[in-house]
Structure 1
Amino acid sequence: MSTQHSTDKRPLKRKTKRISPAIKHYTFVETPVGRLLIAGAREIVMLNNFPTGSQAMQPWPEWLRDDNMFSNAKQQFTEYFEGTRTEFTMAVEMDGTNFQKQCWTALRQVPYGATISYGELAQRIGRPGASRAVGAANHANPLPLVVPCHRVIGSDKSLTGFGGGLDTKLQLLAIENPTAYGTDTQGNLFDTA
């Protein structure tokens, strides 16, 4: 039996992605991959979401739009998409299990322009053989740009699941490493790996 009332307009909480109840405000920033949702409280970013893919979402009705609160985050995201920022320094807070947080901490150590496989990430956190669990932690990542889960690829170098969609993943990889993931003369993305 569902506990959500039919009059409740809030999106259902996904089992794999926790939405922090502390989120009070949101804004958007326009990017080459679409309008990026930024949400949090007290200038602390707790969520960023892409407009496409399986994790696309709208702000919850109880969140208040505040286009000034996250000006630092908006500036950093803009710089990233312009190719002038390689890491994020904004204040963030992430809601997740201990295992998820361990994966996300390791993900933040993957350098700009580099990629890593799910298995390699599992080894880095001391859990060899836990590549599926690492994939689930990536899927639950509330900050998929700040915690760069787009840098995780299959062991065969294939582009695999990404909450923002594979096209967005490829665009992010192309921003970070245009020689490996670039564009042809018509501006179409290609994978040179």
Structure 2
Amino acid sequence: MFYLSVISVEIGNVYIASSSKGLVKVSLDTGEFHNWLKSCGEEYMWNDSKNEPAISQLTDYFKGRLREFDLKLDLDATDFQMSVYKALMEVPYGHVVSYKDIALKVNKPGAFRAVGGAVHRNPLPVIVPCHRVICSDGTIGGFAYDIEIKRKLLRIEGVIL
């Protein structure tokens, strides 16, 4: 069973899904969220009370009042993806790193493209801060959502590229 919520913030709607174990999905796009929901084959219900910690912390983040999340997560990922997500969660608020930096951190120095793939498939953007990853040359790089959303997330944290 998934518990769903939606909040409206500066960048638009943020969709949230959790299980009894923790946060499963955060989406910054309506269509992507609905496609994910169709593909997961689970039962679901809209229930803000089950998602209150995520709603509260995400709201505070977007208002600039929260720098670090403290939420139970229920990530379904490969070992490699989990190592990348763990490394991403160690990138401090207001800082950026390169795909190469993350590859080095997970002891796969030549795997920066694989890191990019894992970052792109991150099911918990903002919580697992994939927006903090940029190209080695200092350019903004890609993002699973609109690149302008990545810029806005970085601006919230005081990063201007």
TM above 0.5, one fold? yes
TM-aligned CA deviation for residue 160 of structure 1: 1.3
Task: Provide Cα deviations, 1:24-46, integer angstroms capped at 9, x if missing partner.
Answer: 22111111111101001127111
Contact 2:17–2:25 (Cα < 8 Å) also in 1: yes
Greater Cα offset, 87-96 or 38-47:
38-47
**Structure 1 residue matching 2:59: 3-state secondary structure:** helix
Could you report, residue by residue, the CA deviation over 1:126-165 in whole angstroms, capped at 9, with x for unpaired residues?
1101100000000111101111000000111111111122
- Deviation (angstroms), 1:56: 2.8
SS in 2 for 1:155: coil
Counterparts of 2:106 and 2:116 in 1: how far apart (Å)? 13
Q: Determine which of 86, 95, 104 is the counterpart of 1:123.
A: 104
Other structure's SS at 1:113 match = coil
Q: Give the equivalent residue in structure 2 for 1:11.
A: none
Equivalent-residue separation in structure 1 for 2:116 and 2:137 (angstroms)? 15
Aligned twin of 2:151 = 170
- After the TM superposition, which residues 1-193 of structure 1 pair with which residues of structure 2 at under 5 Å, given as runs? 24-42=2-20, 44-51=22-29, 56-58=32-34, 60=37, 62-177=43-158, 180-181=159-160, 191=161
* Counterpart amino acid of residue 150 in structure 2: K
**Aligned counterparts of 1:164 and 1:27: Cα–Cα separation in 2:** 19
**Which stretch of structure 1 is more off in the superposition, 140-149 or 61-70?**
61-70
Structure 1 gaps of 5+ residues are 1-22, 182-190
61-70 vs 154-163, which moves further: 61-70
**Residues 78-122 of structure 1, C-alpha deviations (whole Å, 9 max, x = no match):** 000111100100111100100000000011000000000001110
SS of the residue corresponding to residue 28 of structure 1 reads: strand
Higher helix residue share:
2
Amino acid across the alignment from 1:30: S
